[in-house]
Amino acid sequence: MGCFLVLNAYAGENQETAAKKLALMFRMAPQQAQSIIDKVSKGQVWRFQNEVSDRQAVVAENYLKAIGFQVERSGQAQEETYQIAETVDLSDDADLAVAPAAVASPGEKPQQTLQKSPSKALAAQSPSGKSLHFGFHGTGGGLLKIQLVNWILSMVTLGIYYFWGKTKERRYLWEQMSFTGDRFFYHGTGKELFKGMMIFNLLFIALAAGLAVVENMVGPQMSGVVNGALVLAILVAIPAILVGAYRYRLSRTAWRGIRFSFRGSRKEAIGLYVKGFLLTLFTLGLYWPYFTIARRTFWMRNSHFGNQNIQYEGDGKDIFTQFMISVLLVPLTFGIYWFWYKAFLARYNWSRTRFAGGTFNFSATGGQMLTLNLVNMLLLVVTLGLAYPWVMVRNLSFVTQHLTIDANMRLDKVVQDAKQSGALAEGAVDGMDIDMDFGI
């Protein structure tokens, strides 16, 4: 398996010395090496053109890290690259021999790491008064190819390949998304999902077996109570599973070499959801707007990019009136007004969301959301579902086209501070088919 090397940040002390070492290692002109360092130092991403083997990647990574670069591996070439070093040769036939002191062996630790100051490469700011934009560069055809291979191999392997296929699909979607022109990266693996699903299945079987033993001990007259306890246990476990799944996905997502993370606890999620559903039930639905904001607050405030968390300041009373209007108009309009309420809620939520001093803005209207969904439905009906990849691409493109952040956001203080997260809960979500959509 090969990969592409990507330079996300530079935090070395001596650019002139680093340029000489870069030119020596990759057989490029000193001016080109200096240009690469200048651009990466300003926050631009540099992707090497040629695919390399894992063996070559280890050697090159250690060398690049030792001279001050933060390096990522990308699993596949992208349709749109950033800055390409046309003369660089990283093929297996290339001679990577360098001075022994300059390159750390695969088992050794590089002389310096970038985690202490990647902020130097993240400090590039947009001009004052301008918005920072998201983008999506994928195509329905590209996604369809991945899904077709996934479907075929999943059938051939009796479903085992599903987890690897899902990872490839997710990696494609992640890496086709960009912010200020720089792509996101997904680091999850199919092995992690498969292992998580196997562990979850074993836990579920053990729970079911334990309840069966209890049912046999108490007799058939108590079977209803036992089954009810099982259902209740599953419902209570859903928030905990969602937390684990969301934590896993964020921990495997990176931008400019800095990873995302989620710091919320399962206990807090269970308490929030149990309280929210009970109060909504007892108030005949009137508590739902407050529960909506409480959920959003939990997911946003516990989400981090590097060492900085997302701030969210919402209040249920701000959306209560619109919620009541939607309760009245959605049935009268045969569901059409739901898109106007959904657009209002998305605009409200993003306008109350801030990160590193910048405020998000979502500009979509109810009419635009209605048009998007009507066209999507028409595509699915006419093609008997074959247009689903195009529908996914349309949805992601719609969100990225309407979502921006004002240029007051400062990334110069963001440093890597992500925590590791396992895939157990992610496997549980796949097994139980729980919707992970927390809203636009």
Between 2.40.10.220, 1.10.3720.10, 3.30.1390.10, 3.40.50.300, what CATH number should domain 2-83+116-121 receive? 3.30.1390.10
pLDDT by 10-residue block (mean), the chain, 440 residues: 80 80 78 85 79 76 80 60 36 35 36 35 46 93 95 95 94 93 89 87 82 74 73 84 90 87 93 95 97 97 92 96 97 96 97 93 96 98 96 97 88 61 55 45
CA distance 7 to 44: 9
CA distance 303 to 134: 18
CA distance 8 to 301: 26
Residue 428 confidence (pLDDT): 55
Q: How far is CA 246 from the centre of its chain?
A: 9
Residue 127 confidence (pLDDT): 45
Q: Which amino acid is at 351?
A: S
pTM score of the predicted model: 0.68
Q: Tell me the torsion sign for CA atoms 263, 265, 269, 275.
A: negative
Any idea where the domains of the chain sit in the sequence?
2-83+116-121
Residue 424 confidence (pLDDT): 56
Cβ contacts of residue 29 below 8 Å, gap of 6+? 23, 87
Q: How deeply is 423 buried, as exposed, middle or buried, from its count of CB atoms within 10 A (0-12, 13-18, 19+)?
A: buried
Q: Which of 47, 179, 41, 175 is nearest to 120 (CA)?
A: 41
Q: Which of 2, 41, 33, 28 is nearest to 16 (CA)?
A: 33
Q: Say if strands 46-47 and 52-53 run parallel, antiparallel, or are unpaired.
A: unpaired
